[in-house]
């Protein structure tokens, strides 16, 4: 695999790595690959914790005094889920860049520079990256709206239920007469019914998140399988270079 790289590409790889340690090129290669591989694994571990947080709300006086409601708690962790999910693809590109020794600066690693690189396109790594990209595409817009505009992500019917709770509280505090129809008022003005409905929706929400996590893990497993031959080939190259550099005995 390494023989397909031009000398310029090799040099750009070496020059692009700056370390405080005195690493040989071989050590640099393995270090960079495992750095981003570990980043993906740790990100997955953090994503797997999200459903746990969403299921359990520490409904305490401390939270109530600081206006941290159940809905805000769920939305906070779901927002982290969106951010980390999109990051999986970004880190996968960084890993691929190091694996193939493309020599692209991390800030310039994107779909066009890495996934569509001529060396990557020759392998099954390309299709694995594309599958991962499609899986996280639905999260890109809500993630970007939050990161760049501070707009919290939508959580569907749970947002509607939270709006009803807020409306009830406002009506009670301001002494406003209820304006809903009798049928709707009898059903939705009951705080216990609202609470039960929200609990049901939260369970569905957790299940959806868990299903997405399982899919991410499967896609990443396929990506690692596709990358393994490349890593083996590169590792073999370094072993060959090490053997060539050894002085011959006389």
Q: What is the pLDDT along the chain (250 residues), one digit of tens a residue?
A: 555 555 555 555 555 555 555 667 888 889 999 999 999 999 999 999 999 999 998 888 999 889 888 888 999 999 999 999 999 999 999 999 999 999 999 999 999 999 999 999 999 999 999 999 999 999 999 999 999 999 989 888 777 776 665 555 544 544 555 555 444 445 555 666 777 787 888 899 999 999 999 999 999 999 999 999 999 999 888 888 766 665 554 4
Q: Is residue 190 part of a domain?
A: no
Q: Is residue 230 part of a domain?
A: yes
> Which pLDDT score is estimated for 167?
52
Give me the domain span that covers residue 25: 2-153+223-243
Structure confidence by residue, pLDDT tens digits, 63-86: 988 988 888 899 999 999 999 999
> Which pLDDT score is estimated for 46?
97
> Which pLDDT score is estimated for 244?
64
In total, how many domains does the chain have? 1
Task: Answer positive or negative: Cα dihedral of 133, 105, 221, 234.
Answer: positive
Q: Is residue 173 part of a domain?
A: no
> Which pLDDT score is estimated for 120?
97
Q: Is residue 188 part of a domain?
A: no
Structure confidence by residue, pLDDT tens digits, 211-238: 999 999 999 999 999 999 999 999 888 8
> Which pLDDT score is estimated for 170?
45
Q: Is residue 178 part of a domain?
A: no
Q: Is residue 120 part of a domain?
A: yes
Distance of alpha carbon 168 from alpha carbon 123, whole angstroms: 58
pTM: 0.80
Q: Is residue 87 part of a domain?
A: yes
Report the 10 Å Cβ neighbour count for 15.
Answer: 9
Q: Is residue 189 part of a domain?
A: no
> Which pLDDT score is estimated for 182?
47
Distance of alpha carbon 230 from alpha carbon 228, whole angstroms: 5
Distance of alpha carbon 78 from alpha carbon 46, whole angstroms: 12
């Amino acid at each position: 695999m390494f023989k397909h790289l031009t000398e310029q590409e090799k040099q750009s790889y070496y020059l692009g790595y700056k370390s405080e340690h005195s690493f040989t090129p071989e050590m640099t290669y393995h270090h960079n690959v495992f750095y981003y591989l570990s980043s993906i694994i740790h990100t997955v571990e953090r994503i797997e914790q999200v459903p746990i947080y969403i299921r359990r709300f520490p409904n305490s006086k401390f939270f109530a005094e600081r206006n941290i409601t159940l809905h805000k708690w769920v939305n906070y962790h779901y927002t982290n889920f969106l951010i980390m999910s999109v990051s999986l693809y970004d880190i996968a590109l960084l890993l691929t860049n190091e694996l193939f020794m493309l020599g692209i600066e991390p800030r310039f690693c994107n779909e066009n520079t890495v996934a569509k690189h001529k060396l990557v396109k020759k392998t099954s790594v390309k299709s694995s990256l594309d599958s991962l990209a499609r899986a996280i595409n639905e999260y890109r817009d809500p993630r970007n709206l939050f990161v760049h505009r501070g707009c919290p992500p939508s959580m569907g019917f749970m947002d509607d239920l939270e709006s009803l709770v807020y409306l009830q509280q406002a009506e009670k505090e301001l002494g406003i007469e209820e304006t809903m129809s009798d049928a709707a008022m009898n059903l939705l003005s009951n705080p216990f019914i609202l609470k039960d409905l929200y609990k049901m929706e939260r369970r569905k929400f957790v299940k959806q998140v868990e299903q997405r996590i399982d899919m991410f893990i499967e896609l990443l497993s396929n990506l690692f399988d596709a990358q393994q031959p490349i890593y083996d080939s590169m590792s073999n190259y370094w072993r060959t270079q090490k053997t060539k550099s050894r002085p011959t005995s006389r």
